[in-house]
């Protein structure tokens, strides 16, 4: 990823050099004008370049926010999941001889770490544990109070909120990346064509080509 960013930054720098010098150097400007690249056409290149810079900046800002949100999301999941698993294991001990309660709490079978499946299983467990006095009274023997159960359920609810937020953030990040790539592709096509014209228009003066980094 870092190599790709460095490559893009290098391309933007070189493209900026070519466009700026083409506009500021009257000799270059006059020579390329003879081949149809007048000031309006060069300014179109400036517009494409600015669009790429803006899209790149937006993507980078969004990427930083996404990483921060992702770290918060992962911590929230681990906190909610680990406490839930502790309570599931203790409940299996507490109700080892009571298949009805085991079924009621949905704690038979494998536990899922997939967020959607985890949320379904945790919802069943906490809803049942908090609803039925027989469950609460038995878990109290293991120092799991109703308050602790509610706190565990709250961790799950907090995770639900972050799960929804990061799903939106992920979609936005994909959109920003596509926008940046689309603008970059347009600029790449434009500068590729312009370089062909430059090498024809300036071929009699190597100094001017070097000035443009060609």
Q: Is the pLDDT of residue 60 over 70?
A: no
At 59, is the pLDDT very low, low, confident or very high (cuts 50, 70, 90)? confident
What does the alpha-carbon distance between residue 124 and residue 102 come to, in Å, rounded to a whole number? Answer: 11
**Weakest mean pLDDT among 133-142, 176-185, 188-197:** 176-185
Helices (H), the chain: 2-24, 26-33, 39-94, 99-105, 115-131, 133-140, 146-201, 206-211
What does the alpha-carbon distance between residue 179 and residue 56 come to, in Å, rounded to a whole number? Answer: 9
Q: Which residues 6+ apart lie within 8 Å of 201 measured at CB?
A: 28, 31, 32, 34, 35, 37
- pTM exceeding the 0.75 threshold for the entire prediction: no
Q: What is the CB neighbour count within 10 angstroms for residue 173?
A: 19
Q: Quote the number of domains for the chain.
A: 1
Please give the structure tokens belonging to residue 111: 């536990």
Contact predicate 165/69, CB 8 Å: yes
At 64, is the pLDDT very low, low, confident or very high (cuts 50, 70, 90)? low
Angle between helices 2-24 and 26-33 (to 10 degrees): 90
Taking all residues of the chain, what is their mean pLDDT, rounded to a whole number?
A: 90
At 54, is the pLDDT very low, low, confident or very high (cuts 50, 70, 90)? confident
pLDDT in the model for residue 134 = 95
Please give the structure tokens belonging to residue 121: 């299983």
Domain of 119, in residue numbers:
2-211
Contact predicate 173/66, CB 8 Å: yes
Residues 75-118 pLDDT 10s: 999 999 999 999 999 999 999 999 999 999 999 988 888 889 99
> Looking up tokens 């906490």, which residue turns up?
126
């Amino acid at each position: 990823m870092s190599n790709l960013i460095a490559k893009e930054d290098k391309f933007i720098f070189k493209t900026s050099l070519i466009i700026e010098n083409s506009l500021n150097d009257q000799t270059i400007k006059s020579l390329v004008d003879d081949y149809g690249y007048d000031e309006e056409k060069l300014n179109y290149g400036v517009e494409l370049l600015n669009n790429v810079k803006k899209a790149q900046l937006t993507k980078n800002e969004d990427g930083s926010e996404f990483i921060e949100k992702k770290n918060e999301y992962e911590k929230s999941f681990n906190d909610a999941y680990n406490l839930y698993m502790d309570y599931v294991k203790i409940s299996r001990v507490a109700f080892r001889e009571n298949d009805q309660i085991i079924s009621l709490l949905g704690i038979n079978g494998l536990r899922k770490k997939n967020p959607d499946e985890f949320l379904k299983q945790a919802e069943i467990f906490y809803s049942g544990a908090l609803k039925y006095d027989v469950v609460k009274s038995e878990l109290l023997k293991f120092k799991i109070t109703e308050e602790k159960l509610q706190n565990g359920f709250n961790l799950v609810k907090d995770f639900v909120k972050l799960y929804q937020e990061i799903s939106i953030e992920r979609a936005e990040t994909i959109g920003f990346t596509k926008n940046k790539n689309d603008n970059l592709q347009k600029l790449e096509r434009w500068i590729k064509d312009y370089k062909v014209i430059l090498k024809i228009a300036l071929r009699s003066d190597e100094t001017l080509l070097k000035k443009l980094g060609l």
